[in-house]
Every structure is written in structure tokens, then in C-alpha cells.
Amino acid sequence: MKNILIVVIIALLASAGQILLKIGVTKHAAELHSQANVLSKLISMFINPYVLSGLIIYASCAVAWLWVISRMKLSHAYPLLSLTFVFVPLFANLILGDSIQAKYWVSVGLI
């Protein structure tokens, strides 16, 4: 039961990481599409606090995931990560204002 809770927390954190990455790259999207000094713009994007936070969360999730799969059957743990298909759209709706259509939720239900 403890391992299942940890996988759910990993899914929540990974979803939060996605939102942070989206916020961070959106702030730099217009800059990245121009051709001038692409390298400095990429560096600027990677040191953006949102992108950096998202990457740190992702790295932390990867470490936690390794811990979980060392203690749990992969065939039991991996399907729980599909919760990100629920969490990311919910967070995107609440935080980014993304609209989510009913057909998406039908698709999630099939997964």
C-alpha cells in the first residue's frame, strides 16, 4: 500500500512538473522562434525558474520511480502512472485555463 501511495505521489509531482515546464517555455516561446542567438535563448529558457523547477521535479520523480520499481512489480506499478493522464489536464485546466473536452475524458476512461 505504501508503494502505491508513492506511485500516486510520483504521478502528481510529474504532472506538476509538466505544468511548470509549460509555464516556463511559454514565457520563452516567442523568443525561441526568432533566429537570432538561439543558443543564448535556450540557455535563458533552461535557467528560467519554472523550467528549472520542472526539471528538478522530474529528476526527483525518476529517482523515486527507481526506488518504487526496485520494491514493486513493474506490471503493478506502471499502470498507476497513467494517472498523469488525469492529473495533467486537471492541473492545466485549473492553472493554465486549458479547456478539456468530454471526448478526452472518454479516452482517459478507456486507458
Task: Provide the pLDDT for residue 37.
Answer: 74
User: Which residues in 59-83 are b (16+ Cβ under 10 Å) and which e?
Assistant: eebeebbeebeeebeeeebeebbeb
Rounded to the nearest 5 degrees, what angle is found at the Cα of 79, between the Cα atoms of 68 and 11? Answer: 60
Full-model pTM: 0.84
What value does the mean pLDDT take over residues 76-89? 92
**Cell 526527483, residue located:** 60
- Average pLDDT of every residue of the chain: 88
pLDDT one-digit tens code per residue, 50-71: 999 999 999 999 999 999 999 9
The residue with greater pLDDT, 75 or 108, is: 75
Task: Provide the pLDDT for residue 15.
Answer: 97
